[in-house]
A and B are shown apart, each in its own frame.
Chain A
Amino acid sequence: MNKPLPNTYRQGPDSQGRFGQFGGRFVAETLMPLILEVEQAYEAAKRDPSFDAEWRRLLTHYVGRPSPLWFAERLTEHLRANSAREGFGAKVYFKRDELNHTGAHKINAVLGQILLAKRMGKTRIIAETGAGQHGVATATVCALFDLPCTVFMGATDVERQQPNVFRMKLLGAEVMPVTSGAATLKDAMNEALRYWVANVEDTYYCIGTVAGPHPYPVMVRDFQSVIGEEAKQQMMAAEGRLPDALVAAIGGGSNAMGLFYPFLDDADVRMYGVEAAGHGVETEQHAASLTKGRPGVLHGNRTYLLQDAHGQITEAHSISAGLDYPGVGPEHSWLHELGRVQYVSATDDEALAAFQLCSKLEGIIPALEPAHALAHVIRMAPTLPKDEIVLMNLCGRGDKDIFTVARHLGVEM
C-alpha cells in the first residue's frame, strides 16, 4: 500500500509502454508487428532534429501557434463577486487552443503523426472520431499532404455532428459511418482497428487521443505537450510565476495530458482533470471512467473503464460527443492512482451553464468539452484566495456545438 512516490512524474512510460500497471500493448498478433514499427519510427523521428523543425514550422505557420494566454478578467471579476468571502476569487487564465486552425488542440498531434506516417512511407491515413474534431483535423492535414483519408465515425455521431461530417467531406476525406455496437466513438475505434488490421501494408492509423496501444499514449502526449510548454513560458512572462492550479477536460485526455505534462514535477502546481458526469455520476448516464470505472483492458491498453461486473464495456454518456468514451488514457489512470492529479467531474447542465457564461462574459464560445473544465473553474475559483492563479485549457471552440446547445435550451434553429 505504501508504494514510494517517484521522484519524477515525467519518466513514463517504461519500455513496455507501461505507466505503472497502466498502458501496454494489448492488440492481436496481426497488429503487433505494426505497433512495433510505429514505435521504432517514432523513436527515430524524435532523435531527428529535422522532424521537430518541420513539425514546429507547421505549428507556427499553418496552425497559428503559440496560442495566446488570455487573462479572463470579466470572468474573474464575476467569480470574485460571487465568492462568499472577501479577498477570494482566483485569477482565471485561458490557454486559447481553440484559436488553432481547425478550432481545437487535436491538430497538434495530427500534424506530428502525419509527418511520422510520411516518414514510414505510408500512403493512406485512417482515423476515428467522436465529435468530429479529430476527424476534421486529420482530414485537414491529409488535404495539405495530399493523402487519402478515411474517418470512422459512429452512425449516431454522424447524425448529431452533421456540420463536421460535411467539413470532412469538403476536405476530401471519406467518412465511414459505423453501425456496430452502440455506433459511437468506441465502436468507431473498433472499426478503425479492424480496417487497419486488414490494410497494414499501406495504412497509418492516426489516433486522436492519449489512449490505444503503446506508443500512441506517449506519442500523442509528447505532441500535445506543446500546450503546457507554451503556457509555462507565457505564465512566467505574464505573472512571473507558475499557476497554482491547472484545469482541463478529460475524455481520452489528450488536451489535459498536453497541459499537465510539462508541469508534473512542479510540486506546487495542483491539477484537476474534469470528466463528463452526463446526467450525474450517481446515474448510469455519464462518461466518468476514473470517478466511477475500474481498471480493465480495451483498445490496446490497460486503463480505467466503464464496465459491468463481468468485464463487458458499458456505454458512456455525455452532452459532449468528444467526452463520450468509456475509457481514458493510461497515463491519467496512473496519475489518478498516484494522486498527482485530482479527477473531478461536471454534469451536462453545469457544462451548458459554463458554455453560456463564457460566451457572455468573455466573448468566447467554448466547445462543450472545455465547458466541462470551465464548470469546475466556476466552482473552484471562488474558494481560492485572490492572489492565486488558475489556468484552464480552452481546448476547442464551440461553433460545432451550437446546434446541440440550442436543442438543449429549447431554441429552434
Chain B
Amino acid sequence: MSRIAAKFAALKAEGRKALVTYLQGFDPDRETSLALLRGLPGAGADLLEVGVPFTDPMADGPSIQRAAQRALKVGATLPGVLDLVREFRRGDDTTPIILMGYYNPILAYGVDRFCGDAAAAGVDGLIVVDVPPEEAGEIEPQARAAGLDLIRLVAPTTDDARLPRVLAATSGFVYYVSITGITGTRSATAASLEQAIPRIHKHTDLPIAIGFGIRTPQQAGEAARLADGAVVGTALVDTLAASLDENGKARPETVGLVLEQVRALAGAVRGG
C-alpha cells in the first residue's frame, strides 16, 4: 500500500480527517524549508505538499507567486527539491509527500527519469497543475510505473459529464479546488461545499481533500467535516512571509510561527 493510501486508511481507523499542508520548497531557504518539513508532522500535518518553484505559476495567487520568487532566488531547482525530500525521508518513513507544481521543470528534467528519481527520493504523489486529463499521456504511464499517485484537481467548473474522466485519471486522493480562482484569493461557502463533495463521491471512493481558499482553523474544520481532509497553503505561506526580515531572510522565530499555526489548524480538523 502506498504511503498516501496507508495514511488515509489509518486516519479512517482513528475516525479523523486529514490536514494537508502546502509550503513551497526552498522558501525562504533550504535549511528553513527542511526544518519546516521536519516539524510539520509533529505539529499535526498528516500529508505534506511541497511546491516546486516555477517562474510562471499560472494557477497561483500573489502569495505563492512571491514564495516561488523567494525560492528561485536562493537557487531552488527540481533536483534540489528532490534532494530536500530525500533528506526529510531519512527521518520520516510514513508521512506522505506530494510534489505540486507545473509541467515545464519536469519536462526539462525528463519525465521518465523524474518519476523514477522522485519515487526513489521518497515522493508519493504528484500534482501537476497544468497537465489536465486530456494531456495525461504525457506523464501518467511513467508515474504509474514508478508507483507515484497522480492527484488531480477537480474544480467547480468540472461538470458531471467531465467528472468521471477526471476521476478515472486520479489516484491517491481527489483535490477539490473549492473556488473558481487562483490559490489564496477567496473562500468557498459551506453551502457550495455541501453540494460539491457528495457530487464527487457519487463517482469515486477515493478520499477527497478540499483546498484553495482555506485560511482559518474554522474553515479547515468545516472542510474536514464535509470531506476527508483540508488543504492549507496560502495562509501558511503568508505567515512565513510575514515572519521574514527586511531582506526576505528567515528569522529565528519563522519555523515556530508556521508550526504554531499548523497546530491550531490540526486542532480544528481533528475536532471536526
Task: Please report A residues at the B interface, Cβ cutoff 8 Å.
Answer: 16, 24-34, 180-181, 186-187, 190, 193-194, 197-201, 295-300, 305, 307, 309-313
Contact A310 B154, beta carbon cutoff 8 Å: no
Contact A30 B130, beta carbon cutoff 8 Å: no
Query: Closest residue to A179 on the B side, CB-wise?
Result: B62
Contact B109 A311, beta carbon cutoff 8 Å: yes
Shortest CB–CB separation between residue B97 and chain A, in angstroms? 20
Contact B107 A299, beta carbon cutoff 8 Å: no
Chain B interface main SS type: loop
Shortest CB–CB separation between residue A223 and chain B, in angstroms? 24
**Chain B positions within 8 Å of A26 at CB level:** 103, 130-132, 135
Shortest CB–CB separation between residue B150 and chain A, in angstroms? 13
B130 in complex: contacting residue of A187, A297, A313, CB < 8 Å: A297
Contact B180 A198, beta carbon cutoff 8 Å: yes
Given contacts A25-B134, A26-B131, contact A313 B108 (CB under 8 A): no
Given contacts A27-B130, A197-B181, contact A186 B56 (CB under 8 A): yes
What's the Cα separation between A201 and B102 when bound, in Å?
25
Contact A29 B55, beta carbon cutoff 8 Å: no
Extra contacts besides A33-B158, A200-B157, A296-B107 (9): CB < 8 Å: A25-B132, A25-B135, A28-B155, A29-B157, A194-B59, A194-B61, A197-B181, A297-B102, A312-B105
B107 in complex: contacting residue of A31, A180, A311, CB < 8 Å: A311
Contact B134 A298, beta carbon cutoff 8 Å: no
A-B interface, 5 closest residue pairs, ranked by CB to CB distance from nearest: A311-B108, A198-B181, A311-B105, A30-B155, A311-B104
Given contacts A30-B180, A310-B78, contact A198 B185 (CB under 8 A): yes
B159 at the interface (CB under 8 A from A): yes
The interface centre, meaning the residue of A201, A299, A307, A311 with most chain B CB atoms within 10 A of its CB, is A311
**Chain A positions within 8 Å of B78 at CB level:** 310-311
Q: What sequence of 0s and 1s flags, for each residue 174-206 of chain B, a beta carbon within 8 Å of any chain A beta carbon? A: 000101111001100000000000000000000
B113 at the interface (CB under 8 A from A): no
**Chain B positions within 8 Å of A297 at CB level:** 102-104, 107, 130
Shortest CB–CB separation between residue B177 and chain A, in angstroms? 6
Query: Closest residue to A182 on the B side, CB-wise?
Result: B55
Query: Closest residue to B77 on the A side, CB-wise?
Result: A310
Contact A307 B152, beta carbon cutoff 8 Å: no
B251 at the interface (CB under 8 A from A): no
**Chain B positions within 8 Å of A16 at CB level:** 134
Q: What sequence of 0s and 1s flags, for each residue 44-58 of chain B, a beta carbon within 8 Å of any chain A beta carbon? A: 000000000111111
CB under 8 Å from chain A, chain B span 94-126 = 102-109
In the assembled complex, 11 residue pairs joining A and B whose CB atoms fall closer than 8 Å, in A order, are A24-B134, A25-B135, A29-B166, A34-B157, A180-B65, A186-B56, A190-B57, A297-B107, A298-B104, A310-B79, A311-B105
What's the Cα separation between A295 and B56 when bound, in Å?
16
Contact B180 A313, beta carbon cutoff 8 Å: no
Contact B159 A33, beta carbon cutoff 8 Å: yes
Shortest CB–CB separation between residue B78 and chain A, in angstroms? 6
Shortest CB–CB separation between residue A182 and chain B, in angstroms? 9
A312 in complex: contacting residue of B55, B153, B155, B182, CB < 8 Å: B55
Contact A296 B108, beta carbon cutoff 8 Å: yes
**Chain B positions within 8 Å of A299 at CB level:** 56, 58
**Chain B positions within 8 Å of A298 at CB level:** 56, 104
Given contacts A186-B56, A194-B59, A312-B55, contact A32 B107 (CB under 8 A): no
Contact A29 B152, beta carbon cutoff 8 Å: yes
Contact B177 A30, beta carbon cutoff 8 Å: yes
**Chain A positions within 8 Å of B77 at CB level:** 310
Contact A194 B58, beta carbon cutoff 8 Å: yes
Query: Closest residue to A314 on the B side, CB-wise?
Result: B55
Contact B104 A296, beta carbon cutoff 8 Å: yes
Shortest CB–CB separation between residue A179 and chain B, in angstroms? 9
Shortest CB–CB separation between residue B260 and chain A, in angstroms? 29
B180 in complex: contacting residue of A180, A197, A295, A309, CB < 8 Å: A197
**Chain B positions within 8 Å of A296 at CB level:** 104, 107-108
Contact B157 A313, beta carbon cutoff 8 Å: no
The interface centre, meaning the residue of B102, B109, B130, B162 with most chain A CB atoms within 10 A of its CB, is B130
Contact B180 A29, beta carbon cutoff 8 Å: no
Given contacts A26-B103, A200-B157, A311-B106, contact A180 B62 (CB under 8 A): yes
B55 in complex: contacting residue of A194, A197, A300, A313, CB < 8 Å: A313
B129 at the interface (CB under 8 A from A): yes
B72 at the interface (CB under 8 A from A): yes
**Chain A positions within 8 Å of B185 at CB level:** 198
What's the Cα separation between A313 and B56 when bound, in Å?
7
Query: Closest residue to B179 on the A side, CB-wise?
Result: A198
**Chain B positions within 8 Å of A313 at CB level:** 55-56, 104
Contact B182 A27, beta carbon cutoff 8 Å: no
CB under 8 Å from chain A, chain B span 22-79 = 53-62, 65, 69, 72, 77-79
**Chain A positions within 8 Å of B186 at CB level:** 198
B157 in complex: contacting residue of A30, A190, A193, CB < 8 Å: A30
Shortest CB–CB separation between residue B37 and chain A, in angstroms? 21
A33 in complex: contacting residue of B58, B65, B109, B157, CB < 8 Å: B157
**Chain B positions within 8 Å of A28 at CB level:** 58-59, 129-130, 132, 153, 155
What's the Cα separation between A298 and B106 when bound, in Å?
12
Contact A310 B105, beta carbon cutoff 8 Å: yes
Shortest CB–CB separation between residue B171 and chain A, in angstroms? 16
**Chain A positions within 8 Å of B60 at CB level:** 194
What's the Cα separation between A31 and B62 when bound, in Å?
19
The interface centre, meaning the residue of A187, A194, A200 with most chain B CB atoms within 10 A of its CB, is A194
What's the Cα separation between A31 and B134 when bound, in Å?
12
**Chain A positions within 8 Å of B69 at CB level:** 181
What's the Cα separation between A310 and B53 when bound, in Å?
11
A190 in complex: contacting residue of B58, B107, B179, CB < 8 Å: B58
Given contacts A16-B134, A297-B130, contact A310 B56 (CB under 8 A): no
Query: Closest residue to A312 on the B side, CB-wise?
Result: B55
Given contacts A198-B181, A311-B105, A311-B109, contact A181 B55 (CB under 8 A): yes
